[in-house]
């Protein structure tokens, strides 16, 4: 059984430590822990490893956030991975900092990466792990906020959750979406 875990973010050094790139940060941690190394390939950086008999692909699209769906669709088709076996890891302004929510479907919530994925999949029913980045910004400053770097205090809080994020991703692959939601969503 194959799984595609997609971390949303923007390619390039200038975006490395931004709130919008928490998906990349999460996948970097999972890949490192699995001794899997990302290689540049079509529409992104990808690596894969076996986890308890499951084949897990980690994808960091290089299409920039607004075109993430192109990379997701390409790798789903290339590896013949069904929609129920993809998990999109993304930042969420509507959740308090470092709050984690695993969902089986939902709206894009104004997130352009999710909006493009929804368009390419022709559905809003696909698993996603939403990571709260808070919403401490002035009206009209949303883009500056998500493309801004983490403060030192925020980074400590986020780093404290990165292992739980890894456990949720691997739990999704091995234990399934519903069991993983039941285990982690109420913590």
In this structure, the number of other CB atoms found within 10 A of the CB of residue 7 comes to 30
CB contact burial 110-129 (16+ within 10 A = b; e otherwise): ebbbbbbbbebbeeeebbbb
In this structure, the number of other CB atoms found within 10 A of the CB of residue 13 comes to 6
Q: Which of 19, 20, 60, 166 is catalytic?
A: 20
Closest CA to 83 of 121, 136, 28: 121
- Is 20 known to be catalytic? yes
Q: What is the DSSP string of 101-135?
A: EEES----TT-HHHHHHHHHHT-S-S-EEEEE---
Instruction: Give strand ranges (E) for the chain.
Output: 2-7, 39-41, 44-51, 54-61, 86-92, 100-103, 128-132
Strand 128-132 vs strand 54-61: parallel, antiparallel, or unpaired?
Answer: unpaired
Q: Which two tokens stand for residue 111?
A: 């997130």
Give the active site residues: 20
């Amino acid at each position: 059984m194959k799984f595609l875990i997609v971390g949303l973010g923007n390619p390039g050094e200038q975006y490395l430590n931004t709130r919008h790139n928490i998906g990349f940060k999460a996948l970097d941690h999972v890949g490192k822990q699995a001794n899997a190394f990302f290689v540049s390939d079509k529409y992104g950086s990808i690596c894969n490893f076996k986890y308890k008999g499951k084949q897990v692909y980690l994808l960091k699209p290089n299409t920039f956030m607004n075109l993430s769906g192109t990379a997701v669709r390409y790798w789903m088709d290339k590896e013949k991975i069904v929609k129920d076996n993809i998990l999109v890891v993304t930042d969420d302004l509507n959740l308090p900092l470092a709050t984690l929510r695993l969902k089986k479907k939902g709206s894009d919530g104004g997130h352009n990466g999710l909006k493009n994925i929804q368009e390419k999949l022709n559905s809003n029913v696909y698993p996603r792990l939403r990571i709260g980045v808070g919403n401490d910004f002035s009206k009209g400053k949303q883009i500056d906020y998500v493309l801004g770097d983490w403060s030192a205090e925020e980074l400590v809080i986020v780093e404290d959750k990165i292992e739980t994020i890894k456990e949720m991703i691997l739990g999704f692959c091995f234990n399934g979406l519903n069991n993983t939601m039941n285990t982690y969503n109420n913590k």
